[in-house]
A and B are shown apart, each in its own frame.
Chain A
């Protein structure tokens, strides 16, 4: 019971921190429903908490519970002070609860809840088992906790937590685990896995609210059911790997970027930037993937808004926000001369030599996407939806989602074409783990278009403020 209370506390702290920062972008408390706010606060709050821990560690402040809590309290006060005049008491947007669900809605909701229970049980029933976790991420979390530091002596065996030749990997999730060990008071590599179901649920909630605002409640629940039933996403949500949290950040960044492009409310742009920034802090693939929303911004303004100055301003602000989360870890790597990621070294000199890789890459995409059990028939659905819609008049949401999917897939294609990571494609190690980040966007694209086709509505309004 004590551990349960401590776990709840360990999750509440980042949520409250995140809520304080989100309030900067939601002064009238009218943008988000309570659940959505909680999910968004968790994603943002965890990123801010671990960034703060990194900075403390770099300043050689002892990473114990007391120090982290004191600094977290100070950090949390900053947005509260900035936003002081706009603070309204009470929890935003909790209205009367209506139980008017139809049978189909109840079925979809039960199917989703079943998956959440499965993820929770499977995460907590067993300790860390994943190879990449016990040789790297979870090992580093243990080292950070037991030394109460980032282990900054380069001559020591466990410098920067260990991780060997993968020390360049960002440590957002290891530091989050370290935080939880500090709250628990001991090293428990089973209970710490609670964070992964929380990332899963946060993704589902944000996904739901993005769909429900431009469709019906039934359809939004069906869309969330489709997302929650993706076998690979579900499996990763029970594990201690970084891929699913990365998917949560990348997909959420896309969703809020879409909101900005729909409403032209800069607050959504900033939220998207923060989420993309935390993505760069979660996984090394996060930084190259930032190119995707930046290109979507360029695309939207050049082809829809045609305002170069505004485009440049938006992109500049977006990148600055991303860099807030990226720069500290990059500085750490520079100061301590941590070798770069050789697997993502671009081999410019082999652009033509690697031509034989093209059919192999496409072959792997084809077989793993369509004929394995990773993604149900999601990719087939994309083909079906494209076949029915690509020749019709398309709205912006369609174009942006398709552009994001295409650019992300192209980014992974180039990763395998131009870097030594090709080796990990051949043995099946990384393709599905990499493309996991774009699957929520794929399901979004499919669900949104299914709604348009099945409901017969040519254009769907977005009633988000």
Chain B
């Protein structure tokens, strides 16, 4: 009893020590692109995102030692649930920012403060002296509130908390989830690894204990049962963790789809206003027409268009109409090719989004 009480008091003492004695560096932010600052008080800043990829930047010349300040901690509140954000970092000597010098994090439930704590010690490029940070808080329109952004030195409690947060990170269902699911991780490693180690070590220990206390026959008889029960408990443990993600998925899908009409739901399954553009095409192109397309290649625009537009269908040669969806004005060369063949604007949805006809 005394031993338990002592351990409890020790943990209690460690907690404030773990937090308060870490050296911390507060980071302030300024708008960089697709975002404007709409309010601030103390270390709390509110931004309004005006584009799909808002970026905010820290001051330059931070001169922070990445080798010692390996914990990133901040609070963030957004208007969409569970969407990813990304923190980019540039060290002294780096030419610029890049994905290899970044880490993804996950926002929490819309409208609620999410406490982000990331252990960067495992990141291969988090070293040297940090010059500047850039934050893409979320890829969505809306207001973003960021407060208490700090870089900290690690402590046992912070490591435990960041490991827990890593374990509980929501693996949001994406298109690739149909092929594989990463599963929860701790320290960048699958939790399964730790469970296997635990089961094997416990099994061997139990076997040794039974063998020493009783005999080989008893050990061989009881150890398999104990290991199987341990496996069952591990299964339930992983499953409960999976259940948390399933509940989050339901919350997210309910926010996205519940109460909408079928058309509105379909619009939510494609990026931007592409579905509205498809509906525009559907009402302007006669049924049975043969169409070609000029679409960006980074998403399944053509596949989706073919799916929604049938019985208007795509052809490789001699189309009657050309559907042009060029939101980033990057497909001019392809559009001009059709213009040279005699196609002109037949109907316009928005800038960069129209229908060509010969």
Partner of A118, one of B171, B229, B250: B250
Which of B179, B193, B311 touches A428 (beta carbons < 8 Å)? B179
Q: How far is the CB of A81 from chain B (nearest CB, A)?
A: 41
B258 contacts A by Cβ under 8 Å: yes
Known pairs A134-B300, A139-B306, A236-B178; A371 contacts B190 (CB<8 A): yes
Say whether B346 faces chain A, with CB atoms less than 8 Å apart: no
Chain A residues with CB under 8 A of B219: none
A384 touches B231 (CB 8 A): yes
A residues less than 8 Å from B25 (CB atoms): none
Report B-chain residues with C-beta under 8 Å of the C-beta of A368.
180
Q: Is the interface of B mostly helix, strand, loop or mixed?
A: helix
- On whether A125 and B253 interact (CB within 8 A), knowing A372-B180, A388-B224, the answer reads yes
Instruction: Across the interface, name the chain B residue whose C-beta is closest to A229.
Output: B239
Show 27 residue pairs from A and B whose CB-CB distance is below 8 angstroms, ordered by the A residue.
A118-B246, A122-B253, A126-B265, A126-B269, A128-B307, A135-B303, A139-B306, A139-B310, A157-B313, A162-B306, A190-B262, A229-B235, A232-B180, A232-B181, A234-B246, A371-B190, A371-B192, A374-B183, A376-B238, A376-B239, A377-B231, A380-B192, A381-B235, A384-B199, A388-B224, A428-B179, A450-B232
Query: Smallest CB–CB gap between B198 and chain A, Å?
Result: 11
Q: A131-B175, A139-B307, A239-B178 are in contact. Are A126 and B253 (CB under 8 A)?
A: yes
A188 with B192, Cβ < 8 A, contacts A126-B253, A232-B181 known: no
**Which residues does chain B contribute within 8 Å of A122, judged by CB atoms?**
249-250, 253
Residues A157 and B183 in contact, CB atoms below 8 Å apart: no
Known: A372-B180, A388-B224. A126 touches B250 (CB 8 A): no
Q: A134-B300, A236-B178, A373-B181 are in contact. Are A126 and B238 (CB under 8 A)?
A: no
Q: Does B184 contact A (CB under 8 A)?
A: yes
Q: How far is the CA of A128 from the CA of B265 in the complex (A)?
A: 10
Encode B234-270 as 1/0 by CB contact (under 8 A) with A. 1100110011001001100110111000100110110
Kindly state the separation between the CA atoms of A162 and B178 in the bound complex, as whole angstroms: 22
Q: In A150-186, which residues have CB < 8 Å from any B CB?
A: 157-158, 162
Q: How far is the CB of B183 from chain A (nearest CB, A)?
A: 2
A-contact bits for B213-239, CB 8 A (1 contact / 0 none): 000000000001101110110110011
Return the contact of B181 from the options A121, A127, A226, A374 (Cβ within 8 A): A374
> Shortest CB–CB separation between residue B301 and chain A, in angstroms?
11
B171 near A126 (CB under 8 angstroms)? no
* Count of A-B residue pairs with CB < 8 Å: 150
- Within 8 Å by CB of A135, from B257, B307, B311, lies B307
A427 to B296, CA, bound (A): 23
Q: How far is the CB of A332 from chain B (nearest CB, A)?
A: 21
CB <8 Å contact, A125 and B269 = no
Min C-beta distance of B99 to chain A, whole Å: 19
With a CB–CB cut-off of 8 A, which chain B residues contact A284?
none
A33 at the interface (CB under 8 A from B): no
Give the residue among B190, B246, B314 with the most A Cβ atoms within 10 A.
Answer: B246
Residues of B near A218 (CB, < 8 A) are none
A interface footprint on B260-285 (CB within 8 Å = 1, 0 otherwise): 00100110110000000000000000
CA of A138 to CA of B307 in the docked complex: distance in angstroms? 8
Complex CA–CA separation, A453 to B221 (angstroms): 9
Please tell me the size bucket of the interface on A. 35 or more
Number of B residues with CB within 8 Å of any CB on chain A: 55
Q: Whole-angstrom distance from the CB of A370 to the nearest CB of chain B?
A: 6
CA separation between A129 and B178, bound complex, in Å?
11
Closest chain-B Cβ to A177's Cβ sits at a distance in Å of 13
Which chain A residues numbered 349 to 391 have a C-beta less than 8 Å away from chain B? Answer: 368, 370-374, 376-377, 380-381, 384-385, 388
Residues of B within 8 A of A (CB): 171, 173, 175-184, 190, 192-193, 195-196, 199, 224-225, 227-229, 231-232, 234-235, 238-239, 242-243, 246, 249-250, 253-254, 256-258, 262, 265-266, 268-269, 290, 300, 303-304, 306-307, 310-311, 313-315
Q: Smallest Cβ distance from B162 to chain A, in angstroms?
A: 20
Contact A135 B178 (CB under 8 A): no
Of all chain B residues, the one with the shortest Cβ separation from A142 is: B310
Is A432 an interface position by the 8 A CB rule? yes
Interface: A339 (CB within 8 A): no
**Chain B residues closer than 8 Å to A114, beta-carbon distance:** 243
B178 adjacent to A433 (CB under 8 Å):
yes
Asked if A235 contacts B228 (CB within 8 A), the reply is: no
Most buried by B among A127, A139, A385, A453: A127
A430 lies within 8 A of B177 (CB): no
Chain A residues with a Cβ under 8 A of chain B: 111, 114, 118, 121-122, 125-132, 134-135, 138-139, 142-143, 146-147, 157-158, 162, 188-190, 222, 226, 229, 231-232, 234-236, 239, 241, 368, 370-374, 376-377, 380-381, 384-385, 388, 428-433, 450, 453-454
A118-B246, A127-B262, A131-B300 as given contacts; A377 in contact with B235, CB under 8 Å: yes
Interface of A is mostly: helix
CB-based contact B253/A453 at 8 Å: no
A121 touches B231 (CB 8 A): no
Q: Which of B229, B265, B268 has the most CB of A within 10 A?
A: B265
B304 partner residues in chain A, CB cutoff 8 A = 134
In the complex, what distance in Å separates the CA atom of A432 from the CA atom of B178?
9
B269: nearest chain-A partner, CB-CB: A129
Q: Which residues of B contact A374 (CB under 8 A)?
A: 180-181, 183
B179 touches which of A139, A146, A162, A433 (Cβ 8 Å)? A433
A415 to chain B, nearest CB (A): 16
CA distance A234 to B265 in the complex (A): 22
Nearest-Cβ distance from residue A129 to partner chain B, whole angstroms: 5
**Contact indicator A146/B311 (Cβ below 8 Å):** yes
Contact partners of B307 in chain A: CB under 8 A: 128, 134-135, 138-139, 142
Q: Which residues of A contact B196 (CB under 8 A)?
A: 370, 377, 380
Look across to chain B and name the residue whose beta carbon is closest to the beta carbon of A243.
B178
In the complex, are the beta carbons of A126 and B257 less than 8 A apart?
A: yes
Contact status B303-A134, CB under 8 Å? yes
Question: Lowest 10 A-B CB distances belong to which pairs?
Answer: A373-B183, A373-B181, A134-B307, A135-B303, A371-B190, A388-B224, A229-B239, A157-B313, A126-B257, A125-B257
Q: How far is the CA of A370 from the CA of B190 in the complex (A)?
A: 9
- A147 and B288 alpha carbons, distance in the complex (Å): 12
Known contacts: A370-B192, A376-B239. The answer to whether A127 contacts B269 by CB under 8 A is yes
Please name all residues of chain A whose beta carbon is closer than 8 Å to the beta carbon of B232 when the two chains form the complex: 222, 450
Find the A residue at minimum CB distance from B182.
Answer: A373
Q: Known: A129-B269, A134-B304, A146-B311. Is A384-B193 also a contact (CB below 8 A)?
A: no
Chain B residues with Cβ below 8 Å from A142 are 307, 310
